[in-house]
Chains A and B, each alone.
Chain A
Amino acid sequence: MHKDKKDLLQGTLDLLVMRVLRSGPRHGYDIAKHIHLVSENVIHVGQGSLYPSLHRMERRGYIKAKWDITETGRKAKFYELTKDGVIKVSEEEKNWEEFTSAVGLILKNA
């Protein structure tokens, strides 16, 4: 049970990060901030989860990283989706929708 729960959480974070990156390359801080803003300050992604997640997805080939200059003129590491990542995020979105609708049905009818 515990393992399933952990997988779900990890998977959710990965989905959020990849979804954010679909709109274009972002650095780690920007990703965390964007999730925070878009979720209307509900979801706060800690650095302790974000960076391991980014490195994990980079190893799996869903995202790739490159060093670039930010709008403030500083060097930062930007992450962007790969082709595999694009496919993966679509699959995960679909899975998520199925999952949430199933949970919704249970909450509504059970």
Chain B
Amino acid sequence: MTTRRKARSLAYLFRSFLKSEKRQDELDEEFQFHLDMRVRDLMRSGLSQAEARREAVREFGGVQQLKEQCRDNWGIRLYENFKRDLRYSWRQILKQKRFSVVIILIMGISIGLNTLMFSLIDSVYLNPGLYPDEDRIVRIADVFSGRNARNIKSWMTSPLYYLERKEQSRVLENIGVYQTDWAIVRDLDNRSNSPYQQLLVSPSLLETLSLKPFLGRFFTQEDIDSGNHEVVILGYAFWHNRYGGDPNVIGSKMLIDDEPYTIIGVMRSDFNIPFGFDPDGTDPRFETPFMTPWIERPWHKTARGRQHNYCNTLGLLKPGQTVQNLKTELQEINSRNSPLFPEAYRYEIEHAHEIAIVPLKDDLVRNVRTQLSLLLISFAFILAMACANVSSLFLSQNRVRSGEFGIRAALGASRLRLIGQILIEKCTYSFLSCAVGLFFLWIAHTIISQTNLYDLFLIPPKPRWSYNLLIYLLISGVAIGVFTGLLSTLGIISKEGFGKMMKEQSRSSTRGKAAKRYQSTLLWCQLTLSTVILVFGGFLLKSFVQILKIDPGFDPDNLYTVSFNLADSDYDNDAKRQFMAELKKRTQELSDVESAGISFFPPLKWGGNHTTRMVTEQDWIQGIRDSSICIQDSVDTTFLATLDISLISGRYFNESDLRNNARNIIIDRRIADKHFNDTDPIGKRIALRNHPSPPDRDNPGNWYTVVGVVESVVRSNLIDPSAMGTIYRNVNEYIPYWFTLVAKSKSNPTHLRASIRDIRNSIDPFVVMDKEETMSEIMNKQHRFNRYLLSIVSLIALIGLFITGIGLYGIIRFLITQNRKEISIRIALGEGIHKVRLNVVSYWAKISMISTIIGASLTVLLSIKFETLLYKVNPGDPFVLLFSVFFIILIIIGTAWLSSTSIKRSNLLEVLRVE
């Protein structure tokens, strides 16, 4: 076809589209003219006018079919049908208002939830929008078996690995390094110091992430090369808090670790380096107060620089390069360089060194994978349940209208035409549901934007309204409409089904066996899915309750904790001992305080563990040289008793231990069980080693004597407690540079805050107090995440219940309407209304029992598969199973009873007349 003819054909199509009504009229007129001319000719041949007209009409044949054929040639038949079907669908929706509301609500909520899920995944994974080149940014780390291979949180690299890659990689466009470090900053009053956790960042990292400053500039490689290391960039909040947001701060000095640093810039408020602020992985909201340049040191290029893994590195792949290419290249670089450092090389081989490379986007969701999977599974169930519900309701509606379809089929409508009409009708429902979904989404977005979801997602989701989101909403709406519509038309898609429908339309009140079977299947699916979601929801709820009930191994009630930093004070060890003793003595003298104690690293307080290596004297004698890792803490005489950590044998520390700085030690049950088996550990000796040299057995200075065994406690993570045991050292023997005072209050522990501040001020107002919080607050912080999950799962279970409830109500109500002839006859023959209602309810009770048993069995299988999502809950937990099954049966019976109230003493004749 030539272009000119194509254009003409398109123009014709366009004219037909625009003037379809006019063309219809013209077609009528054209046919009428043809008929009139034929009548005139026939009359001329001698027929009367009536005979001539009759003959002309007979010759002409089916006018409607001919019109259809002509319209087919206009190329707009589909459009015409669509317009007609749409108008018809709208009338149907208005005609069955209650039915339509139920359908639109179920579909609307499902579409809204589905789009919300997309929106969350989009904002935390697909398109977090943190960095311009986030698709090409990768996290590079070195993992060693037995060290950090399985703990993705501690995936780090060493300075030398970083430097080698920076110099030799051709696959990377850029690579940057960063780490956290404590720094002491002189306060503005020039009298006191405050400790801050700063960020050390290489200029190349800021380039890799394409970060821009809010004020001033970032440091550059030129700053470092020219020896201009003492430059600092302030965090946005720090700049506001310390300098009141003064823009003239640029160029002024700040004393960090007694060195004057020039302030050259201020970070933007949304400045973010992945996990750079979160050394413990406990508080992603930790906002960096300031950052200074990461400097290459001479030792970085020695064996030591290769072995110390403490740096985070992020690389930017060149366009077109892949993670696999980078991995291959880095392995080559490593195999070239490693043999130059024999000791480090041996370590690499012994500990199966591996280069781990993760795309940044995957890295960002590593901590939320479980949550996302959980949400996806829950939403998928809701969606499947809604689809089964809606299909079932649509099928019921189609059965009611089978007479209408039959008549249309008899008048010449093809199977495809009928299916098309049904699909357009269902899609009209979908579009209306999309509007409800949009409203639902708007509410969800408003709630999310006003809720702090840092605890749920490391990168807080910022759902955005975008074209993508709206397109997704529309597509999912249409997909659900088409899917449920097709499911509901399965009965007429096959030729046999179509034929049966045409036959059945003459007996509208009775339904075919196939149709009944199909509807029953959908109903069973719906009930089974409802049971699955409720039982699984029950398992998850119980998991969360278990988590909230975790026993930390000590009594957390009425405990007040506050940390003191002695790092920057001029205190020697004696002064530190004196400060601690005085602080504790005065705290104990407070009338509201039951007892008080001091610890270096109290349980749960710091979100991490302070570890050391230990070996028992007995193992040492037997030639066992492998020391094992344990947690260490240094405590005073009353700390363990204040926390109510039970003494199993021996004693707590006493004043004599403190006075003599005795090298006595208390161990917990885990260490006692692991290292002393059935023997009594009291009096036995333990050596602590943080260096490779062996302890000298004959030198008592190397050994600690066990004086007590206490119960094990949860040290850092309530949900995933460490299996490591703990040793407690005497606080006077192992003096920390910061410590925590723990006070047991007789009433509300927060009342101690002011009193303890007063005590500090009276002893030394320049000692920094930090992290003033009660133990309950610390535990609540750890549970926040679970509370969010608990709320979400509860919400999903509620939505599931709501959908099940209204879906079931609609179907039972419909089935009662379907059988109203039979019901009316039974009532007319003298059967009581209550008995009829009871029959309906008992029928549904039987169905509910069977379907819930199937659903519960399925859930048990599913739970075994997803056991990792459950916490201390057996997938076959009888309590949860029985309770959930009972609950769903109750809902089904309740819905059946509610629906059966529509059975009324109706006039039999009236019903029969309608039939």
Does chain B have a CB within 8 A of A77?
yes
A interface residues, how many (CB within 8 angstroms): 21
Question: Contact between A29 and B37 (Cβ–Cβ < 8 Å)?
Answer: yes
Chain A residues with Cβ below 8 Å from B8 are 61
Interface of B is mostly: helix
The CA-CA distance from A76 to B29 in the complex, in Å, is 8
Q: Which among B64-72, B125-133, B676-684 touches the partner chain? A: B64-72
User: Among residues 23 to 74 in chain B, which have CB atoms less than 8 Å away from a CB atom of chain A?
Assistant: 26, 29-31, 33-34, 36-38, 41, 59-61, 65-66, 69-70, 72-74
Chain B residues with Cβ below 8 Å from A74 are 33, 36
With CB as the reference atom, state the residue of chain A lying closest to B62.
A48
Question: Contact between A61 and B30 (Cβ–Cβ < 8 Å)?
Answer: no
Chain A residues with Cβ below 8 Å from B38 are 29
Does chain A have a CB within 8 A of B659?
no
User: Among residues 17 to 41 in chain A, which have CB atoms less than 8 Å away from a CB atom of chain B?
Assistant: 27-29, 33
Chain A residues with Cβ below 8 Å from B30 are 28, 51, 76-77
Most buried by B among A29, A46, A55, A59: A55
Does chain B have a CB within 8 A of A60?
yes
Does chain A have a CB within 8 A of B9?
yes
Residue of B31, B66, B75 touching A52 (CB-CB under 8 A): B66
User: Among residues 51 to 110 in chain A, which have CB atoms less than 8 Å away from a CB atom of chain B?
Assistant: 51-52, 55-56, 58-61, 67, 74-77, 84
Question: Contact between B33 and A77 (Cβ–Cβ < 8 Å)?
Answer: yes
The CA-CA distance from A92 to B409 in the complex, in Å, is 40
Does chain A have a CB within 8 A of B12?
yes
- CB within 8 Å for A61 and B9 given contacts A28-B30, A47-B34, A75-B29: yes
With CB as the reference atom, state the residue of chain A lying closest to B68.
A52
Question: Contact between B12 and A46 (Cβ–Cβ < 8 Å)?
Answer: no
Does chain A have a CB within 8 A of B5?
yes
User: Among residues 568 to 600 in chain B, which have CB atoms less than 8 Å away from a CB atom of chain A?
Assistant: none
Chain A residues with Cβ below 8 Å from B65 are 48
Interface of A is mostly: helix
**Closest approach, in angstroms, between the C-beta of B33 and any C-beta of chain A?**
5
- CB within 8 Å for A29 and B61 given contacts A51-B70, A52-B72, A59-B73: no
Residue of A61, A67, A76 touching B12 (CB-CB under 8 A): A61
With CB as the reference atom, state the residue of chain A lying closest to B6.
A61
Chain A residues with Cβ below 8 Å from B61 are 46-48
**Closest approach, in angstroms, between the C-beta of A44 and any C-beta of chain B?**
10
The CA-CA distance from A56 to B9 in the complex, in Å, is 11
**Closest approach, in angstroms, between the C-beta of B732 and any C-beta of chain A?**
101
Chain A residues with Cβ below 8 Å from B60 are 47
Chain B residues with Cβ below 8 Å from A46 are 59, 61
Residue of A29, A48, A61 touching B66 (CB-CB under 8 A): A48
Most buried by A among B9, B33, B65: B33
The CA-CA distance from A87 to B66 in the complex, in Å, is 29
Question: Contact between A84 and B73 (Cβ–Cβ < 8 Å)?
Answer: no
The proximity string for B residues 658-689 relative to A, scoring 1 for CB distances below 8 Å and 0 otherwise, is 00000000000000000000000000000000
Chain A residues with Cβ below 8 Å from B13 are 59
The CA-CA distance from A52 to B30 in the complex, in Å, is 12
Question: Contact between B69 and A60 (Cβ–Cβ < 8 Å)?
Answer: no
Residue of A29, A55, A60, A67 touching B9 (CB-CB under 8 A): A60
The CA-CA distance from A94 to B36 in the complex, in Å, is 37
- CB within 8 Å for A52 and B73 given contacts A60-B9, A61-B9: yes
The CA-CA distance from A76 to B8 in the complex, in Å, is 24
The CA-CA distance from A80 to B397 in the complex, in Å, is 51
**Closest approach, in angstroms, between the C-beta of B614 and any C-beta of chain A?**
89
Question: Contact between A60 and B5 (Cβ–Cβ < 8 Å)?
Answer: yes
**Closest approach, in angstroms, between the C-beta of A63 and any C-beta of chain B?**
11
Chain B residues with Cβ below 8 Å from A67 are 26
The CA-CA distance from A110 to B65 in the complex, in Å, is 43
Chain A residues with Cβ below 8 Å from B75 are 59
Chain B residues with Cβ below 8 Å from A33 are 41
Chain A residues with Cβ below 8 Å from B36 are 74
The CA-CA distance from A58 to B356 in the complex, in Å, is 68
**Closest approach, in angstroms, between the C-beta of B18 and any C-beta of chain A?**
15
Chain A residues with Cβ below 8 Å from B70 are 51-52, 55
**Closest approach, in angstroms, between the C-beta of A78 and any C-beta of chain B?**
11
The proximity string for B residues 69-91 relative to A, scoring 1 for CB distances below 8 Å and 0 otherwise, is 11011110000000000000000
The CA-CA distance from A60 to B10 in the complex, in Å, is 10
The CA-CA distance from A48 to B31 in the complex, in Å, is 11
**Closest approach, in angstroms, between the C-beta of B686 and any C-beta of chain A?**
94
- What are 15 A-B residue pairs whose CB atoms fall within 8 Å in the complex? A28-B34, A29-B34, A29-B38, A33-B41, A48-B65, A52-B66, A55-B73, A59-B13, A60-B9, A61-B5, A67-B26, A74-B33, A76-B33, A77-B26, A77-B30
Besides A47-B60, A52-B69, A77-B26, 20 other CB < 8 A contacts?
A27-B33, A28-B30, A29-B34, A29-B38, A47-B34, A47-B61, A48-B65, A51-B66, A52-B72, A52-B73, A55-B73, A55-B74, A59-B73, A60-B5, A61-B9, A67-B26, A74-B36, A75-B29, A76-B33, A84-B5
